[in-house]
Amino acid sequence: MLEIQALSKHFVSGRGHISALTDISFSVEQGKGVILAGRSGSGKTTLLNCIGALEVPDSGAVVYNGVNICTLSPRQRTLFRRCEVGFVFQAGNLLPWLTVAENLQFPLELNDIRGTAQQRRIEELLATFSLAGYEQALPAELSGGESQRIAFARAIAHQPALLLADEPTASLDSSNGRQLMELMFSLCRTQGTILVIATHDQELMAMTDTVMALKDGRMEKKP
Amino acid sequence: MRLTFLCNIAGLMLWRSWRTTAVLSFMVVSAVAALVFLSALAVGTNDAMIRNSTGLFSGHIAGSGIREADAPLPQLPGVKQVLVRRQQQALLSANGRLEPVLLMGVDPAQEQATTAYWKKTVAGAFPTAHEEALFLSQETAKRLQLSVGSRVTLVNPQGAAVKPLTVAGVYKTGITQLDQGLAFCPVGVLPTGPTELSIAVFLQADAPLEAIAAQYRRLLPSAVFTPWTEFMPDLKQLIDLDSICMAIVVTLVFAIVSVGISCAFLIFTLKNLREHGIMKAMGLLSGDTALLLVAQIGMLTVAAAVVGTLVGAATVAVFAQIGIDISAFTSHNQYFSVSGVLYPRLTALALFTPPLAAVVFGLAAAIWPIAAIVRKNPADILRSV
C-alpha cells in the first residue's frame, strides 16, 4: 500500500520561489495503477521523484507499507530505490555502453540476483517483451519502441513493488505505446506491483480508472 | 554490488567509448613514454660522465700506498681490470729549463686496452713497451720547448743527469690534474730509485663501487682505496643534482598531466552525466559510483601507463644501440673529454617511476570528477540533462 500524505515541495530558482507540489494526498493499493495527468510543469515528475525517493518533500509523507520513506537516510533511500522501485524515464534512459542483456543485468546485479537465476530472468524478460535475439545489441542499434521495451523490462527485472514511469510513451507511436502499456498494466496486476505513470497521453488515461490530474502542483481530482 | 561487475561496467564504458578513451589515453601514453626516455637519458648522461671521467685515467677506484709485495692485486668479481702504475718524483731538463713532474711508469699495452688518456694525443704516439721514451702533456712540452722526437734528460733531485729520453708523444686532456706535472713512460724505462705503487681499478657496468672498495680495504688494510665518488666529489654532486632535477621534472610533468587528465576526465564524466544519474536513480550507492569512476580512471591510466612504458622502453632500446651524439655541445666539458655520445640506459627506477607516477597522479585526478558526480542528486541530474 502506497500512501501520499499532504505532500508539498517547493524550489527556489532564478525565477523565485516555485511551489512544485502543494498538499497532495492519495493512496494506491498493491497491484493497482494510477496515472498522474497534467501539463508540462504541473508537478508530475516532482511527485514521481518524491514517491521514488529521489527527492525529499518539504512537508508531508510518502508511506510505503507503513514506512515513511521521506524520513530515511540518503543511503536508505538509495537502497529503497534499488530494491523496491523500478523507474522508466522518458526516451534515452538505457545505458548506451551496455548491451541489452547487460542493461537488464544491471538491476539484477544491484539486487544480488546472479548466476543461473540472473540468466533465466534475462531470458524471461526478453521473451516477455518480444526481444529474444537482441541480447548483444547496443541501445544505439535499437528503434525507439525497442529501446522503451527494454527500459520497461529493466525497470521490472528485479520485480519491484513500485513501478514509476515518466512519460513512458512520449517517444512511441500510439499503437506501440498502447501495446506496451497494456503489457505493463497486465504484468503489474499479475505481480501485485503498484504502477504510477506521469503522462499527458489521453489514450493512457483511458486504460485505468484512477487518474490524478495535477495543475500548478495541486491536485484537481481525488481518486 | 560486486566489485567485478563494477569493474566490468567501467571497462565497457571505456571500451565502447573508445574514441574518447583513446584521446584521454594519448595524454598519459605520451607523458609516460617521454619520461621513461628522459629518465633513461639522464641515467645514460650520468653513465657517460662517469665512463669518461673514470675511463680516462683514474679508474673507478684509486689505490695508493701499495707495497711491492702486494702487487699484483687479486681481480675481484665485478672488476674489469686493475692497472698497476709505478710513480717517481723526477725533474725533466731540456733547452736549459727544468720542470718537476710525477713520472708514471706504466704498461703501455694495458693502458691502451683500458684507459683513454693516450687517445688524447695531439702529436706523436703513445710509447711502446721497450721504447726509451716519454709521453708528455702539451703544457709540459711547451714549458720545456719540446716537440715529438726531442731529447729530454731525467735529472735526479741533486741535479745529476740520470737518463736521456725521447719525446714519443704529446697529449692534452683538458683536465688540469692530468695536463700539469704528469709524464708517462714504459715501466721498464723508469730509472732505479724509490718508487711508489698506485693502482687504478676499472669496474664492469653496474658493479657495486663501495662494496668492491671495501673488499680491497679488507684485503690490504695498510693501503688506501678511494672510490671515484670521493676523489671526484664534483662529479658525484653533479650526478646527485641530475637525479634531483629528474625527480622534479617527473613530478612537475605529472602534476600538469594530472590536471589535464582531471579536466578531460571531468568532461568525459559530465558527458555521461545522465547515465550516472540513471544508475544512481536505480540504486547505485555513492560509494559504488565513486568506485566505478576510480575503476574507470584506474584502468585507463594503468593501460596507458603500460603502453607508454613499452613505447618509452622501445625508444630507449633504439637509442641505446645508435647513441645520441652531443659532442658538439661537450667539447669543452671535462666530463665528456673522451666521448660525447650518450647511450640511454633503463634502470628499474627509470622504467617504473614514470608509470607509477602516472597511476598515482591519475587516481588523484579522479577526485574532482568523483566529487562532481557523487554529490549530485540523481533527480537534479535527470532534471538538468
The sign of the dihedral angle between the CA atoms of B180, B185, B189, B193 is positive
pLDDT category of residue A48 using cuts at 50, 70 and 90: very high
Looking at every residue in chain B, the average pLDDT score rounds to 88
Q: Write out the residue range of the structural domain in which residue A41 sits.
A: 2-219
Query: Could you tell me the residue range of the domain that residue B152 belongs to?
Result: 79-203
Instruction: Evaluate if residue A39 carries a pLDDT over 80.
Output: yes
Query: What confidence score (pLDDT) does residue A185 get?
Result: 86
| Chain center to CA of A97 | 22
- Which H or E element spans position B132? none
A152-203: per-residue pLDDT in tens? 999 999 999 999 998 888 777 888 888 888 888 888 888 889 999 998 888 7
Q: Give the distance from CA B136 to its chain's centroid.
A: 31
Grid look-up 497534467 returns A38
Q: Examine residue B285 and state whether it is found in any structural domain, yes or no.
A: yes
Interface contact flag, A110 B282, Cβ < 8 Å: yes
Evaluate whether residue B132 is within a structural domain.
yes
* Residues B136, B180: Cα–Cα separation, whole Å: 9
The secondary structure of residue A222, as a DSSP letter, is -
Taking 70 as the threshold, does the pLDDT of residue A92 lie above it? no
Residue A223 pLDDT level (bands cut at 50, 70, 90) = very low
Cβ within 8 Å of residue A12, ≥6 positions away: A18
Q: Which pLDDT value is given to residue B177?
A: 82
Amino acid symbol at B331: S
Among A195, A202, A99, smallest CA distance to A155 is for A195
pLDDT in tens, A111-146: 999 999 999 999 999 998 888 899 999 999 998 888
Mean pLDDT, residues B74-102 taken together: 89
Q: Which residues of chain A are at the B interface, by a Cβ-Cβ cutoff of 8 Å?
A: 45, 49, 52, 54-55, 74-75, 78-79, 81-83, 85, 87, 89, 92-93, 95-98, 102, 106-107, 109-111, 114, 138
Q: Which residue is listed with cell 515541495?
A: A9
Paired with B185 in beta bridges are B105
Average pLDDT for residues A62-88, to the nearest whole number?
A: 93
Q: What is the mean pLDDT of residues A44-70?
A: 92
How many whole angstroms separate alpha carbon B79 and alpha carbon A91? 75
In angstroms, the separation between the Cα of residue A41 and the nearest Cα of chain B is 12
Residue A83 exposure: Cα atoms within 13 Å on the Cβ side: 7
Do residues B181 and B123 make contact, with C-beta atoms less than 8 angstroms apart?
no
Mean pLDDT of A37-50: 89
Number of domains in chain A: 1
pTM of the model: 0.76
Cβ atoms A220, A59 nearer than 8 A: no
What residues have CB less than 8 Å from B126, skipping those under 6 apart? B108, B111, B112, B118, B135, B168, B169, B184
Q: Do B34 and B99 share a structural domain?
A: no
Residue type, B184: F
> Which CATH number characterizes residue A95's domain?
3.40.50.300
- Arithmetic mean of pLDDT, A29-55: 90
3-state secondary structure of B157: coil
Average pLDDT, integer, range A39-58: 91
Q: Which whole number is the average pLDDT over B340-351?
A: 90
Assigned domain for B368 exists:
yes
Any domain includes B66: no
**CB A54 to CB B377 under 8 A?**
yes
Say which of B1, B17, B280 has its CB closest to residue A109. Answer: B1
Flag if B12 and A97 touch (Cβ within 8 Å): yes
Is B215 contained in some domain?
no
B265 with B340, same domain: the answer is yes
Assess if residue B225 is contained within a domain: no
Phi, psi for residue A165 in degrees, rounded to 5:
-130, 130
pLDDT at residue number A63:
95
For a pLDDT cut of 90, what percent of chain B falls above it?
A: 43
Residue B297 pLDDT > 80? yes
Which chain A residue is nearest to residue B275, measuring alpha carbons? A95
Closest residue by Cα to residue B140 from B167, B120, B158, B104: B167
Which pLDDT belongs to residue A221? 55
Same domain, B145 and B196: yes
Instruction: Count the domains in chain B.
Output: 2
pLDDT tops 90 at residue A51: yes
CB contact under 8 Å between A92 and B274, yes or no, is yes
User: Could you tell me if B177 and B84 lie in one domain?
Assistant: yes
Answer yes or no: do B367 and B284 share one domain: yes
Q: Is the same domain home to B147 and B254?
A: no
- The reply to whether residue B12 touches residue A98, judged by beta carbons under 8 angstroms, is yes
Gap from A110 CA to chain B (nearest CA, Å): 5
If asked whether residues B40 and B89 sit together in one domain, one would say no
Residue at B335 is within a domain: yes
Residue B65: inside a domain: no
